[in-house]
Structure 1
Amino acid sequence: MFKYAACSGGSYLDPQGETLARLVIANHYNERLNLGIDYRDLIFVQGVSHGIGTMFKALCDGKNSFLKPDDTVLISSPVYSPYNTIMENLELNIFSIPMDPQTGLVIGDLDKLLSEAPENVKLICLIDPNNPTGFTCNEEFLKKIAEFAKQRNALIVSDEVYSDFFLSRKKTIMHFARERTIMIGGRSKIERSTGLRFGEFIIAKEAQKYISENILKGHLDIAVDLMQLLIFAKAPGRIRGEFQHVTFVTGPSQYLGVSHVIFGGDDRNEYLRRVRVNMENFYEILGMQYNKNLYYACFDLTEIPGNTKKDIEPEELFYGLAKKGVVLIPSNLFFSESDRKKRDYRTFARGSIPNLTFSNLQKAARLIKEYMTG
């Protein structure tokens, strides 16, 4: 392993990723989603979280940054809460598309919502499949977002780390807005390998050219194009490329990761089967409708049938469940500030379902049901 995992010798690895590893990952995406990419369209990062941070650093760092305070980012609500925190810290405005956390569908008329978006929407962030709801965006939604992005000449960043859980899903935003989309993916969730820290930017050649020459024209700092800008940005410090030579994903992580992809098919299929069984049983025990979301469940504790705790403070609900041995993530801050002004989301919880054993999953669901109805 030491000899062949590219961790020995006196040379640094390719900051973009080892060619063999990128060939494998590009082939994976082509087989799964028919993206029509090759190894030159990938940049490896140390997990999707590193990719998210790198992206905002690339877009917001320096005097000629693309995003400046008071620019607007369009994003769904609820959404993985660090996105909200990052944008608040960068003083960016958020225009949110409200989604029903228990169906994954847009609340209201999408055309009307998009028509109300500010003129200065410069970035669209999609988390598809979504965290915390576990739903994918349907094709009608993606087509309308793509058309809106073209009208505003906005950049699209699509976080798709949960994509491989939805094998029937064949279309992503890249199929409808290829020239302006930066996709972020990773191995950690589907391969259960969070310790490898191995993810990737997927950027088709059309997007490399269009984003560099149009959307980010004048905002590349000293980088010659988008790909170099991202390699610079994923290093420590600013975006001037001083430490680009150490931005590579470690050799063992790359080669263990691609080994999972090549040899782990049977294990992935069994894992997906268990995830579906867990999800179905979780909702069945709670007495709530299951709408085919995967990995996460985002739901209102007070809407569990037979609930007797309507008058208890939300914090006390989560504390009471924790004392029973069930830790759920309060989901209030996954919702945008504008959504939180319209409704109290403090009783919403996110449950991470896949990695519990079947017996522990059943036990947790029964404890939630008993506590909320007792």
Structure 2
Amino acid sequence: MLKAINRIEGLLRYHHSKLYRCSLLLSSSCALVSTNSSTSTLPSATTSSLKQSEPCIGFYNLDFSNQYIRPFSTTTINHNPRDDLEIFLPKISVVGVGGGGGNAINHMIEKNLGGVNFYACNTDHQDLIKSLSKNRIQLGAKLTKGHGAGANPEKGRLAAEESKQEIIDNFKDTDLLFLAAGMGGGTGTGSSPIIAKTIKESKKDIIIVAVVTIPFKFEGKRKHLIAQQGLEELRKYVDTLVVISNENLLGNTNRDTPLDQAFLFADDILHNGVRSIANIINVPGIINLDYSDISSILIGRKGLSRIGFGEASGQDRAYKAVYDAMNNPLIENDNEKFTGLLVNISGGSDISLKEINRVTVYLQENSDPDVQIFVGHCVDESLLGSMRISVLFVH
């Protein structure tokens, strides 16, 4: 707990001077607010220039009139003793199920994604030991003898059933779980629904977001049928389901792109989705969302959702980034009506209020009038000159 407090205080010290100057500039155009429920403390030496309980960049939705856009959260800096600081840092985990899921988490580990815990689950022992994750669960060791599910979803299901207790023990402290798998084979298709069901039944308040791929058309009708059956079963036990079509990779790559490079496009969608939500929770910014905001938009949705991602620099970077995020060609959409957008805007300290306004106005204009839009902002000085936007579309 003390380690977490020290980490957050260090981040607040770093951003304090910038945020305070920014708050003075914004005070004439923004309705500054403070909330007693969201307070952070700094040693008095770092807050000497602030009045008691002075808001540090707290503002309502700019010039937006849409009643469905949630007011941005605020942070209040005061002089309360550090002992009064209560912090809830949700534990975020990513589990890769089967070969495809294992490849996805290896990609994230190679990209040094922080703030999350990685787990690999597989029936194939040889594949499992290749995982870069330190947390590995051998599914159905007695049933499969470590030789995999043989493209048989029923065998994958039974393997996960055999390993239920180990699954419960590994995820008992997780608050937000991302599940990655490929549909159409044995382990990913058969084990994923059992893993999600087991975790959900053992911890009712956990949020489970599944990001899965479906096969190419050339892989045959039978594999597609197996994949669809797996999707329908998995959908019963997760809060949000994102489906990536391998077929759509063909339109997003040129004819000379190696197959392993093409699959990285799909892995990047999961990576960007996990990173954006982890950053919203763990990294302070001008606009903050807390875990309850994320819970309210993700939990119990059941519908087919999408993840969009865009990054741009230079002139009109805000429009270019949000346009790309709203038009991702790899995501399957069942044409259901989206009811909420969870938006993460990341960039250096050069991101302006006008640019954030441009992003949210574009989202309003290109969404249903009743949609709720939750916006979070994270400061990442490595992105100075660029703007990165991730959007999770939920039903």
TM exceeds 0.5? Answer: no
The structure where strand makes up a greater share of residues is 2
Taking structure 1 as the reference length, the TM-score comes to 0.32
Query: Which one has more relative contact order, counting CA pairs under 8 Å at least 6 apart?
Result: 1
Taking structure 2 as the reference length, the TM-score comes to 0.31
